[in-house]
Amino acid sequence: MKQQVDIIWDTITNSAKSRIDYNDFKESFDGFGNQNMMENVLFMMICGCAAKKPVDAIAQDVNRELLPLGLVFPDAELQSFLNDNANKLKNEIRATDIALSLLAQGRQIPGVLVQVKSVLAEA
């Protein structure tokens, strides 16, 4: 069963998938054979951007997470993806930043979700 907070992260990730060429992104991971991993990598990238990390550091973080699974994704491709899509994902990045801040303040998940959905709905 999913944790309530996962609803927030799933909402952000699903929104991100609608703003980018997710099929192209997904094809990059075809050899890995795990749908959830693709979504997790996308969310890790969004979190890295929300934390205002440099693109190269985000790519290194992603690969650090993949390495125990015996997988490596070329840093240059991850960096290129981020550079090409960061502007398209600005609402998701902002929503993640706001959600993390509100959750750290102890706000209730339903209220945080309302705020996240509001940010994601912005044009």
45: Cβ contacts below 8 Å, ≥ 6 apart:
58, 62, 78, 81, 82
Residues constituting the chain: 123
pLDDT average, residue stretch 101-110: 96
The answer to which of 4-8, 34-38, 77-81, 114-118 has the lowest mean pLDDT is: 34-38
Q: The pTM is what?
A: 0.90
pLDDT in tens, 2-20: 688 999 999 999 999 999 9
Residue with more model confidence, 51 or 75: 51
What does the block give as tokens for 11?
């909402």
Rounded Cα distance between 83 and 91, Å, is 15
Pinpoint the alpha helices (H) of the chain: 4-19, 22-27, 35-50, 55-66, 75-85, 90-104, 109-121
pLDDT, tens digit (0-9, with 9 covering 90-100), for 29-65: 666 666 678 888 899 999 999 999 999 999 999 999 9
